[in-house]
Amino acid sequence: MNILYKSTRGGESNIPASLAIIKGLACDGGLFVPNEIPKIDKPLKKLVGLTYKEMAFEIMKLYFTDFTEDELKYCIDNAYNEKFDTSEIAPVVNKDDAYYLELFHGSTIAFKDMALSILPYLMKVSAKKQNIKNDIVILTATSGDTGKAALAGFANVEGIKIIVFYPKDGVSPIQKHQMVTQKGDNTYVVGIEGNFDDAQNGVKEIFNNKGFNKVLDENGYNFSSANSINIGRLIPQIVYYFYAYSKMVENNDIKMGQDINVVVPTGNFGNILAAYYAKNMGLPINQLICASNDNKVLYDFMNTGVYNKKREFILTISPSMDILISSNLERLLYKISGNNESVILKLMEELYTKGEYKITDDMKKGLNDFYGNYATIDETYDAIKEVFDNSGYLIDSHTAVGSAVYKKYKEATGDDTKTVIASTASPYKFTRSVMKAIDESYEKYSDFELIQKMYELSEVAIPKAIKDILEDPIIHKRVCDKDKMKETIEEILNIS
Ligand SMILES: *Cc1c(COP(=O)(O)O)cnc(C)c1O
Is 80 exceeded by the pLDDT of residue 496?
A: no
Testing ligand 1's pocket by substitution, the residue of 297, 298, 398, 401 carrying the most ligand atoms inside 8 A of its CB is 398
Q: CB of 166 within 8 A of CB of 174?
A: no
Q: Using CA of residue 152, residue 492, residue 205, residue 309, what is the dihedral sign?
A: positive
Task: For the chain, state the CA radius of gyration.
Answer: 21
Is 80 exceeded by the pLDDT of residue 309?
A: yes
Q: Which residues contact 207 (CB under 8 A, 6 or more apart)?
A: 24, 25, 29, 139, 213, 223, 225
Testing ligand 1's pocket by substitution, the residue of 146, 397, 423, 424 carrying the most ligand atoms inside 8 A of its CB is 424
pLDDT for 158 equals: 87
Q: Mean of the pLDDT values across residues 408-421?
A: 98
Is 80 exceeded by the pLDDT of residue 152?
A: yes
pLDDT for 448 equals: 82
HSE-CB for 12 with a 13 A CA cutoff: 21
Kindly list the domain boundaries of the chain, sorted by start residue: 92-109+232-463
Band of pLDDT at residue 389, cut at 50, 70 and 90 = very high
Testing ligand 1's pocket by substitution, the residue of 266, 317, 324 carrying the most ligand atoms inside 8 A of its CB is 266
The number of the ligand 1 atom at minimal distance from the alpha carbon of 271 is 7
**What are the DSSP calls for 263-328, one per residue?**
EEE-SSSHHHHHHHHHHHHT--EEEEEEEE-S--HHHHHHHHSEEE--SPPPP-S-GGG--S--TT
Count of positions (residues) in the chain = 496
The tens digit of pLDDT for each residue in 343-369 reads 999 999 999 999 999 999 999 999 999
How far, in Å, from the CA of 129 to the mean position of ligand 1? 31
Band of pLDDT at residue 1, cut at 50, 70 and 90 = confident
**Residues lining ligand 1, judged by CB closer than 6 Å?**
110-112, 145, 228, 265-271, 320-321, 398, 424-425
Q: Mean of the pLDDT values across residues 74-89?
A: 95
Count of other CB atoms within 10 angstroms of residue 470: 11
pLDDT for 238 equals: 98
Q: Whose CA is nearest to atom 8 of ligand 1?
A: 268
Count of other CB atoms within 10 angstroms of residue 390: 11
Distance CA 318, CA 321 (A): 6
How far, in Å, from the CA of 434 to the mean position of ligand 1? 17
The tens digit of pLDDT for each residue in 247-297 reads 999 999 999 999 999 999 999 999 999 999 999 999 999 999 999 999 999
How far, in Å, from the CA of 113 to the mean position of ligand 1? 11
The model's pTM is: 0.93
The number of the ligand 1 atom at minimal distance from the alpha carbon of 269 is 9
For 131-199, strand residue ranges (E) read 135-141, 160-167, 187-193
Reduce the DSSP state of residue 456 to 3 states and report it: helix
How far, in Å, from the CA of 264 to the mean position of ligand 1? 9
pLDDT for 471 equals: 85
Which residues are registered as beta bridge partners of 192? 167, 480
Which class in CATH covers the domain with range 92-109+232-463? alpha beta
Q: CB of 206 within 8 A of CB of 177?
A: no
Summary mean pLDDT of the chain: 95
pLDDT for 321 equals: 94
The tens digit of pLDDT for each residue in 22-37 reads 998 898 989 999 999 9
- Nearest CA to 60 among 83, 46, 41? 41
The number of the ligand 1 atom at minimal distance from the alpha carbon of 425 is 13
How far, in Å, from the CA of 8 to the mean position of ligand 1? 22
**What are the DSSP calls for 200-266, one per residue?**
HHHHHHHHH-HHHHHHHHHTTEEEEE-STTSHHHHHHHHHHHHHHHHHHHHTTSS-TT--EEEEEE-
**What are the DSSP calls for 44-110, one per residue?**
GGGGTT--HHHHHHHHHHHH-TTS-HHHHHHHHHHHSSTTSSSTTSS-EEEETTEEEEE---STTSB
Band of pLDDT at residue 493, cut at 50, 70 and 90 = very high
Testing ligand 1's pocket by substitution, the residue of 234, 320, 397 carrying the most ligand atoms inside 8 A of its CB is 320
Q: CB of 219 within 8 A of CB of 493?
A: yes
Q: Mean of the pLDDT values across residues 295-301?
A: 98
Distance CA 208, CA 210 (A): 6
Band of pLDDT at residue 477, cut at 50, 70 and 90 = very high
Band of pLDDT at residue 227, cut at 50, 70 and 90 = confident
